[in-house]
Structure 1
Amino acid sequence: MVEHDVLGATREAYDAVASTYEQMFRDTLRDLPLDRAMLDAFAEVVREGGEGRVADLGCGPGHVTAHLDGLGLEAFGVDASPAMIGLARRAHPHLRFDVGSMAALDIADGALDGVLSRWSVIHIPPDELPAVLAEFHRVLAPGGHLLIAFSGSEGPSHPTQVFDHAVAPAHRWWPDYLAATLRASGLTETARMTREPRPADRRQFQEVHLLARKT
């Protein structure tokens, strides 16, 4: 019941700000060369190992899904917010976008070569995280790849930390803690990029990208 309450509150919060969010973040990758480099690397390893079928989980208004499409992947987006999915469908009518929950994906076992989760797990309560990562593992084909990005916590003594997110309750994760949780779910870390906050960033948190492979 807790997961459904959190999901419902998060969905309603993002529905309420969908248009503003889309305007603020639709060009965000333009100023983030390291983020683009990680997406490029993700796309390359996915294409090498399969047919390039990728789900962007927590896709919001679809701008990153479209970026993946531009990198030659067969990408589609999933988000809990119907308003966000409506914006994504209007902005990118050639792509597929579905309303859904990361905790219960309407995707067949082993159907995907890649899963992208950019700042979507920050809204998952810590006790629900293993189940969500297990769902990522379920939908990936053997050898499939996950790229997960999140806000880093302050240190190993604080493996998870709540922070003041503008839209919905959110959590920061210590990278080694999240990597260990991935391993327990059958996903082995293969690369990591940690970006220090820029002076202009509203939140002075590390931003972490982990690339993992289904074993």
Structure 2
Amino acid sequence: MSETSTYPSATADAYDAVADLYTELVQNILDDQPLDRAVLAAFADLVRSTGRTRAVEVGCGPGHMTAHLRSLGLDAFGLDIAPAMIDIARRDHPGLRFDLSSMDAVDTPDGSLAGVLSWYSLIHTPPAELRPYLDEFHRVLAPGGHLLLGFFEGPEIAPFDHKVVTAYRWPLDALAEQAAASGFTEIGRMVREPRTGERHRQGRLFLTR
């Protein structure tokens, strides 16, 4: 990441400003999303197949997905750069660990995790600044560990007016190439069409270290 980049602090400030509203909107978001539940269940199965269950959700927001991973049998913790989000996550899920941290500074040793979930947490990252995050995900994963990326899919890398702060759409192939440059191997992908209230196609990439 560029030393002069202002996007992380701007993103944190934007999410802090809407933390309570955002939490209300997403707390039951999986209830009517059977395909997303299936994707997350498949990710949890892949992680457990390594014989280990330790995983991190990077960019965890209010912690609802971290808690979901726990319900799927993973020993998951979360991290986020928005202090208000971490406060809510700790309040609503007191039995789980949540760190106030950047996604490129996961507080865990090299090769210590079996899974990394990045569920719409890279969407605000300018494309030129993506690599350090993917490199960090690769660092913390053990050989054979799994990474799941959830993101907005589109025909080209392009910014759009996300409701919180500017975000980017990625073609599946382009994001897979970025992950490959950080040492990941793709094992699967999925795209689902936008549902009511959604503007863009939703992409999912399954990758392994």
Q: 1:93 maps to what in 2?
A: 94
**AA of the residue aligned to 1:145:** H
2:159 to 158, 162, 173: 162
Q: Which runs of 5+ in 2 are unaligned?
A: none
Residue 206 (str. 1) matches residue 201 (str. 2)? yes
CA displacement at 1:2 relative to structure 2: 3.4
Give the 3-state SS of the residue equivalent to 2:18 in structure 1. helix
- Deviation above 4 Å: which 4+ runs of structure 1? none
CA displacement at 1:104 relative to structure 2: 2.3
Q: TM-score, normalised by structure 2?
A: 0.97
Q: Over residues 46-86 of structure 1, what are the superposed CA-to-partner deviations in whole Å (9 max), with x where a residue is unaligned?
A: 01103200100011001111010001100000011110011
Identity, % of aligned pairs? 53
**AA of the residue aligned to 2:172:** P
Give the 3-state SS of the residue equivalent to 1:123 in structure 2. coil
* Mapped partners of 1:140, 1:201: distance in 2: 35
Q: 1:150 maps to what in 2?
A: 151
Q: 2:82 maps to what in 1?
A: 81
Q: Which runs of 5+ in 1 are unaligned?
A: none
Q: Over residues 12-60 of structure 1, what are the superposed CA-to-partner deviations in whole Å (9 max), with x where a residue is unaligned?
A: 1111110000001100011111110011011011011032001000110
Residue 116 (str. 1) matches residue 111 (str. 2)? no
Cα RMSD (Å): 0.9
* Mapped partners of 1:76, 1:106: distance in 2: 11
Residue 197 (str. 1) matches residue 194 (str. 2)? yes
* Mapped partners of 2:51, 2:112: distance in 1: 11
Higher-helix-fraction structure: 1
* Mapped partners of 2:73, 2:132: distance in 1: 30
Give the 3-state SS of the residue equivalent to 1:212 in structure 2. strand
CA displacement at 1:163 relative to structure 2: 0.5
Equivalenced residue count is 207
Q: 1:65 maps to what in 2?
A: 66
